[in-house]
Amino acid sequence: MRRQARRMRRRFTLSSRIAWSLVAFLTQAFGQGSSAPAADGMVNYRVDGDAIHEPLIAAPGDAVRGRAIVADRGLGLCLLCHTAPIAEARSQGDIAPDLSGAGSRLSEGQLRMRLVDGRRLNPASIMPSYHGDSSRVRVGSQWQGKALLNAQQIEDVVAYLRTLRRSAD
C-alpha cells in the first residue's frame, strides 16, 4: 500500500510539473501577441476590416521575387499546403485554397492581410502569420517575436498573387 501511494505521489508531482511548464509556455507564447507588431524584423501596420490597405513599405513589390518566395520550400513554404500555377514545383499541397485566381478573388489589401496576420480573420487556421504575431504558438521558439517574411518579401508575394487572375479577367 505504501509503495503504491509513493508511486502515485511521484506521478502526481511529475504530472503537475509538466502541467505548470505547459501553462508557463502558453502564457509566454500568448502574451507576446499584438495587433500591430514592431518586433524584430516587423513593421507596424493598420488593419481595416479584413484588409491591410497600405503597403508595409514604400518600395513596390516585385512579382518575380514573389513567385520565387512562393515556390521556395525553405522560405515561404506556401506550396507545402497550397497549389499554385508553378509548373516546375512538384508535390504541391492540397489542404489549403488553390492560389490560382487569388488575384481575382481577393484585393491587394485582403491578400496582404492574409499573409501578414491571417489568423486575425480565422483563428483556427493553420497558416502562420508571416509578418504578424498572433500565431506564434505554431512557430518554433527561435521565431517567436520575429517576422517569418520581411516587409519587402510580403509585398513581393502580394505582387505575385495579384498576377494570378482567372482566365476571364
Q: pLDDT per residue over 16-39, tens digit each?
A: 444 444 434 433 343 333 333 344
Residues 45 and 113 in one domain: yes
Q: Which 8-state DSSP code applies to residue 12? A: H
Residues 97 and 15 in one domain: no
Nearest by Cα to 77 from 151, 152, 148: 148
pLDDT at 157: 97
What's the structural domain count of the chain? Answer: 2
Nearest by Cα to 54 from 127, 134, 154, 144: 154
Residues 13 and 69 in one domain: no
pLDDT confidence tier of residue 43, bands split at 50, 70 and 90: confident
Distance of CA 103 to CAs 54, 117, 157, 161, Å? 17, 18, 11, 6
Residues 82 and 110 in one domain: yes
Residues 154 and 139 in one domain: yes
CA trace torsion 53, 55, 56, 59 (10° rounding): 180
Per-residue pLDDT at 12 exceeds 60: no
* Higher per-residue pLDDT: 107 or 147: 107
The set of cell numbers assigned to 119 is 489568423
Residues 18 and 71 in one domain: no
Residues 141 and 74 in one domain: yes
* Higher per-residue pLDDT: 15 or 58: 58
Residues 50 and 116 in one domain: yes
